[in-house]
Structure 1
Amino acid sequence: MERSSLGLKIPEGMIDLLPAELAQLEELEGKAISVCKNWSYQKVATPGLEYRACVEPDADKDDHLYKFFDKNGHILALRPEFTTPIARMVATRQKGGQFPLRFCYSGDVYRNDSARYREFRQVGVELIGSDNDIADAEVIALAIEIMKTLEIKNFQLNLGHNGIFSGLAEEMKFETKVREELEDGIARKDMVKLEKIISSNDLPESAKELLLSLPYLTGKEEVLDKLQNWTHIKPIRKAVESLRTIYLYLKEFGVQDYVSLDLGILRGFSYYTGAIFEGYLPGIGVPLIEGGRYDGLYADFGMNHGATGFAVNLGFILEKAADFELDMADVLVYGQSPGAVIKRCRELRKSGKKVEMALGFLEDTDARNMASSRGIALLEKIESNK
């Protein structure tokens, strides 16, 4: 039966990877994981499918999940990220573990939204069991070390804190809808939308001024001085103190030049509670690094653990990477006797060579042309009596 035209396409947001592309992606992935292991992060894996109750317990939320029903009627979802599945794993299998735990991971995630990539490879870490600012500094420094190891040029990491906006929202007692609209306007740096929301709500002038300034509060440590008039609000004061301390530690790690403060960052996942950060490359309008502190997530799983981490979108890095030269076979083996060819291929592979075996008899000219097209330097012709 002939397939329909739809059968020749792939779903929106998905991609095929040819050999050179996949080899390059796996090389990037391997280098990133190697850096994580050098920092004492141990690799873990979680299922590609989770119960929706794990990754998004709020059934009424527009969750952008790819969802299915199992045979028992339970809703399953392709994982949209790794942080929550790892929290589930720790809560069910590591309760007696020696904290802090340092885990790293790699794998594909799936988000059913309007993004260009709806399936993409992530590499990331979770540092579980510490609420100390030095833990945040460690994972930020590790994210930067990965970028340097992958030879990514001109990346910029922006650091903020969830407590600044949330502290103001609690102090001003914003209604839920107003808060959500303000969050969206600030996160997108959409000043038209932000001004419209602020003008249509009865807010103190000082609060209006701070809300309108948040998207522009970027730079180095001196940016924090602009919040001095708001440090009487405890969450804002704690956020400012935390950012100062983290930035101090980043200087000790020697990575402060890669980091700018951005007090208008508001991360997309609801579980972030403290320091939050994003990494960008020129020409890509969405972050390729997403991370932050999520102390409240483990409480949802019945555990009292502070935690912080990040994920790197390797798909975006693959876009910016230089052309990759595929590692081809060392030798092409051909001849008239299939048995002799197979035997010789086995001998060469045992000796550590990468071997391509000709399928069927080739004339010498054809063998040379095949080797040339494959980028194979050596040919070996096997005579029947060999």
Structure 2
Amino acid sequence: MLRTNLGQRIPDGMRDLLPEELVVQERLEEEILALFRQWSYQKVLTPTLEYTACVQPDIEQDDSLYKFFDREGRILALRPELTMSIARLVSTRMRGGDFPLRLCYGADVYRNTAVRHREFRQVGVELVGSDQELADAEVIALAVEAIAGLGLKNYQFNLGHMGIFSGLMLEAGVDEGLQSKLEEALARKDMVGVERWVSQSRLPTRVQELLLRLPHFHGGEEILDEVLDWSERPAIQEAVERLRKIYRYLNYFGVQENVSLDLGILRGFSYYTGAVFEGYVPGMGFPVVEGGRYDTLYSDFGVSLPATGFAIHLGTLLEQFPLSSTESADILVYGSDAEQVIRQCQALRAKGKRVEMVLGRIESDVAQKMAFQKHIPEILCV
């Protein structure tokens, strides 16, 4: 049957990976997962399809989900990320585990958004069961080392805390609607939107000034002392001191020079509650690493567990690496007797050789040309 034009295309935001592209992606993933294992993280895998109540327990009508109905009429969705899926896994099959749990993954996620990619390959970790600042510092340091280990240069991580923004909102008595609009604009780095919502608000002049400064508050530990002068509200004071402690721990890990404090960071997912961070590499205008603390998410799954983690958007990083040539076979085998050719190929494979079998009879000069074109170093005629 002749395929239609649509049958020859792939859905928007999805992509094929050629052998040489897949070689790079798999190599990067193997290197990162090896590092995770070195830090005592164990790999898990959750289903590609989840019930929408799992992946978005508080936003059933999220348009960013790819949704389906099963035969019983229940709504399913392709997972948009793995944090919630792992929360479901931990709260059910791993509920009696020895906490804290250190889990990692490498998997595809899907988001039906108006961006270039809607299918993402992610690798990441979840550290579940510790509310200590040292846990935050561990996952941030691990994220930095993962990017550094790939050989990338001039990368930069930014670290903030959700409690500073939420504390300002509480102190100013900002209504939920305006807070959501400001939070969304800040998360997208939409400074024009921030200025618009602030100017249209009836917030006190001092609060407006602080909100407009927040996205530009970027630097070292010295900026935290200035934040303490903003307010005596306990929530803000606690967030600052937690951030200070995490930042100092990063110095002990030896990664602090690659991390700047950025009080304008707000993560796009609503479940983040504490320290949040992003990692950038040159030439890419969006974060390739995203993570943070989410201490209330597990209550949606019937347990009370603090947690922190991050995800690396591996697919987007492919553009930073030259394509690798695919691995060629070690030996090309051909001959006039199919039985002998097959047996010889099987014997060589049993010895660990990568073997390409010629499918049919060819002359030696053709075999040599074939081996040359495919970069196969050895030829065997049987």
TM-score tier after normalising by the smaller chain length: over 0.9
- Within-5 A mapping of 1:302-317: 302-317=302-317
Residues 57 and 300, structure 2, Cα contact 8 Å, conserved in 1: no
**Residue matched to 1:348:** 348
SS in structure 1 of the partner of residue 334 of structure 2: strand
**Residue matched to 2:376:** 376
Cα distance in 2 between the residues matched to 1:182 and 1:170 = 13
> CA offsets, 1:248-288, max 9 Å, x none?
10000000111111110110111100000011111211111
- Bigger shift: 162-171 or 131-140? 162-171
- Bigger shift: 331-340 or 174-183? 174-183
Q: 1:117, CA displacement in angstroms? A: 1.1
Cα distance in 2 between the residues matched to 1:199 and 1:318 = 41
Q: 1:8, CA displacement in angstroms? A: 0.7
SS in structure 2 of the partner of residue 102 of structure 1: strand
Cα distance in 2 between the residues matched to 1:315 and 1:244 = 33
**Residue matched to 1:195:** 195
Q: 1:61, CA displacement in angstroms? A: 4.2
Residues 295 and 307, structure 2, Cα contact 8 Å, conserved in 1: yes
| Superposition TM-score, scaled by structure 2 size | 0.98
Cα distance in 2 between the residues matched to 1:41 and 1:377 = 40
**Residue matched to 1:256:** 256
- Within-5 A mapping of 1:31-110: 31-59=31-59, 61-110=61-110
**Residue matched to 1:213:** 213
Q: Which amino acid is the alignment partner of residue 13 of structure 2?
A: G
**Residue matched to 2:359:** 359
**Residue matched to 1:282:** 282
Cα distance in 1 between the residues matched to 2:255 and 2:97 = 31
- Bigger shift: 54-63 or 255-264? 54-63
Q: 1:364, CA displacement in angstroms? A: 1.1
**Residue matched to 2:177:** 177
**Residue matched to 2:238:** 238
Q: 1:188, CA displacement in angstroms? A: 3.1
Is 1:269 the counterpart of 2:262 in the alignment?
Answer: no
Cα distance in 2 between the residues matched to 1:59 and 1:154 = 38
Runs of 4+ in structure 1 deviating by more than 4 angstroms, as ranges, are none
Cα distance in 1 between the residues matched to 2:61 and 2:282 = 33
> CA offsets, 1:316-363, max 9 Å, x none?
111111231322111111111111111111111111111111111111
Cα distance in 1 between the residues matched to 2:151 and 2:37 = 18
- Bigger shift: 83-92 or 321-330? 321-330
Q: 1:63, CA displacement in angstroms? A: 4.2
User: Which residues of structure 2 form unaligned runs of 5+?
Assistant: none
SS in structure 1 of the partner of residue 292 of structure 2: strand
Is 1:2 the counterpart of 2:2 in the alignment?
Answer: yes
- Bigger shift: 85-94 or 181-190? 181-190
Cα distance in 1 between the residues matched to 2:59 and 2:292 = 25
Q: Which amino acid is the alignment partner of residue 340 of structure 1?
A: Q
Residues 230 and 237, structure 1, Cα contact 8 Å, conserved in 2: no
Cα distance in 1 between the residues matched to 2:141 and 2:67 = 35
Cα distance in 2 between the residues matched to 1:69 and 1:361 = 52
> CA offsets, 1:194-252, max 9 Å, x none?
22211211111110111000110011111212212234112211111011000110000
**Residue matched to 1:122:** 122
Residues 56 and 63, structure 1, Cα contact 8 Å, conserved in 2: no
Q: 1:62, CA displacement in angstroms? A: 2.9
Cα distance in 2 between the residues matched to 1:130 and 1:60 = 29
Cα distance in 2 between the residues matched to 1:90 and 1:323 = 37
SS in structure 1 of the partner of residue 194 of structure 2: helix
Fraction of identical pairs, as percent: 56
Q: Which amino acid is the alignment partner of residue 43 of structure 1?
A: K
Cα distance in 1 between the residues matched to 2:195 and 2:125 = 37
Residues 271 and 296, structure 1, Cα contact 8 Å, conserved in 2: yes
Residues 243 and 275, structure 2, Cα contact 8 Å, conserved in 1: yes
Query: Cα distance 1:178–1:248, how it changes in 2: closer, same or farther (>3 A)?
Result: same
Q: Which amino acid is the alignment partner of residue 284 of structure 2?
A: I
Residues 332 and 379, structure 2, Cα contact 8 Å, conserved in 1: yes
Residues 80 and 110, structure 2, Cα contact 8 Å, conserved in 1: yes
**Residue matched to 1:147:** 147
Cα distance in 2 between the residues matched to 1:231 and 1:190 = 25
- Within-5 A mapping of 1:7-22: 7-22=7-22
Residues 137 and 249, structure 1, Cα contact 8 Å, conserved in 2: yes
Q: 1:185, CA displacement in angstroms? A: 2.6
Q: 1:60, CA displacement in angstroms? A: 5.1
Q: Which amino acid is the alignment partner of residue 137 of structure 2?
A: A
SS in structure 2 of the partner of residue 50 of structure 1: strand
Cα distance in 2 between the residues matched to 1:311 and 1:16 = 22
Residues 250 and 256, structure 2, Cα contact 8 Å, conserved in 1: yes
Q: Which amino acid is the alignment partner of residue 11 of structure 2?
A: P
Aligned residues: 382
Measured on the aligned residues, the alpha-carbon RMSD in Å equals 1.2
Q: 1:92, CA displacement in angstroms? A: 0.7
User: Which residues of structure 1 form unaligned runs of 5+?
Assistant: none
| Superposition TM-score, scaled by structure 1 size | 0.97
SS in structure 2 of the partner of residue 140 of structure 1: helix
Q: Which amino acid is the alignment partner of residue 156 of structure 2?
A: Q
SS in structure 2 of the partner of residue 310 of structure 1: strand
Q: Which amino acid is the alignment partner of residue 121 of structure 2?
A: R
Q: Which amino acid is the alignment partner of residue 365 of structure 2?
A: T
Residues 186 and 214, structure 1, Cα contact 8 Å, conserved in 2: no
